[in-house]
Structure 1
């Protein structure tokens, strides 16, 4: 089985999450490629796809959204999982649950009907003051956002293990039908 883990990352946090997912998906009978969405030549050559993007301005990065829309027929024909990387964990405590729900709802619904993923997961990433233009950084701080690395590697690995288990079932079903 060939598995693609594609990603769009602005500052590297999403790329690192994609690589961690790919590490967990390693299996003796599988080939797992981790590729930036702009560099994916033929998503149709893969049996399963995991796609993720950083969230900026409450949306996936344009290159990731464009990739999904451009390849929607290919993606609908195979098992697909989506992940988004935002900063809900950096919000003030009283806003985290609401922020996470809002981000998850926007991200999943924006692409759910396009590719019909088997799952979507929202991860928190890493953000540092120097990644924001001065005025944006001031605004973000005024909203009470805390900069830092909020990636939860155990959560990432658990989600990837769930995908791997589902792919094992999927490949058995495909073998049984052959």
Structure 2
């Protein structure tokens, strides 16, 4: 029996966690064993044969739990198939185009290059002004980011199914 797949995530307000849960649910429906865990709670990768890692993105930064996860586990991740996703841009349209080809901060380039992810993608995010602190609201106002849920669940499931085909 194959080992399990780990879907780990770092989520500031729950949107990325919900995407991770949908990825896990989709893979389970395909008959695979999957754990979906907050990246900050993962202490051992030995039960896993594949890793899917997702991060929220705020002001061009990945979630700190995901950054720590990558750096702490880099030697193991170099040997496993890894897929990465980010969640963050809001507004209508293609989130990859909205990010203008950006997927990770330059500071993570050495780590990303070492693990050679099978794929990196970007999903639209969710923005609820009522959940933001005054400083965050000020930033959102300055960049004129629209409020709403811009996650495309069909795209998320499609991406997950491409991973399943490689399993």
Same fold (TM over 0.5): yes
* Larger Rg, first or second structure (1 or 2): 1
Shorter chain as denominator, the TM-score bin is 0.7 to 0.9
Residue number in structure 1 paired with 2:102: 103
Structure-2 change in CA distance of 1:70 and 1:105 (3 Å): closer
Distance 2:91 2:64 in 1: 23
Please report the TM-score for the alignment, with normalisation by the length of structure 2.
Answer: 0.87
Q: Relative to structure 2, which stretch is displaced further, 123-132 or 61-70?
A: 123-132
* Counterpart position of 1:175: none
Cα distance between partner residues in 2 of 1:7 and 1:97: 19
- 1:142-162 CA distance string (max 9 Å, x none): 322101100000000000000
8 Å Cα contact 2:61-2:104 kept in structure 1: no
User: Residue in 2 aligned with 1:135?
Assistant: 135
1:96-134 CA distance string (max 9 Å, x none): 776412532648x63421321100011111111123221
Q: Is the 8 A contact 1:69 1:114 kept in 2?
A: no
Q: Normalized per residue, which structure has more helix?
A: 1
Q: Which runs of 5+ in 1 are unaligned?
A: 168-178
Q: 1:162 aligns to what? A: 162
Quick one: structure 1 residues 100 and 46, their matched pair in 2 at CA, closer, same or farther if it must change by over 3 Å? same
Is the CA contact (8 Å cut-off) linking 1:68 and 1:115 kept in structure 2? Answer: no
RMSD, aligned α-carbons:
2.2
Q: Residues 97 and 62 of structure 1: is their aligned pair in 2 closer, same or farther, counting only changes over 3 Å?
A: closer
Among 72, 75, 85, which residue is 1:73 paired with? 75
* Number of matched pairs: 162
Q: Secondary structure at the match of 1:140?
A: helix
- TM-score of the aligned structures, taking structure 1 as reference length: 0.82
Check whether the contact 2:39–2:69 (CA below 8 A) recurs between aligned residues: yes
Given the alignment, which residue of 4, 9, 12 partners 2:11?
9
Kindly state the Cα deviation for residue 32 of structure 1 after the two structures are TM-superposed: 0.5
> What residue in structure 1 maps to residue 146 of structure 2?
146
Write the deviation string for residues 73-114 of structure 1: whole angstroms up to 9, x where unpaired.
Answer: 111111100010112x328x7xx776412532648x634213
**Secondary structure class of the residue paired with 2:165:** helix
- Aligned equivalents of 1:139 and 1:5: distance in 2? 30
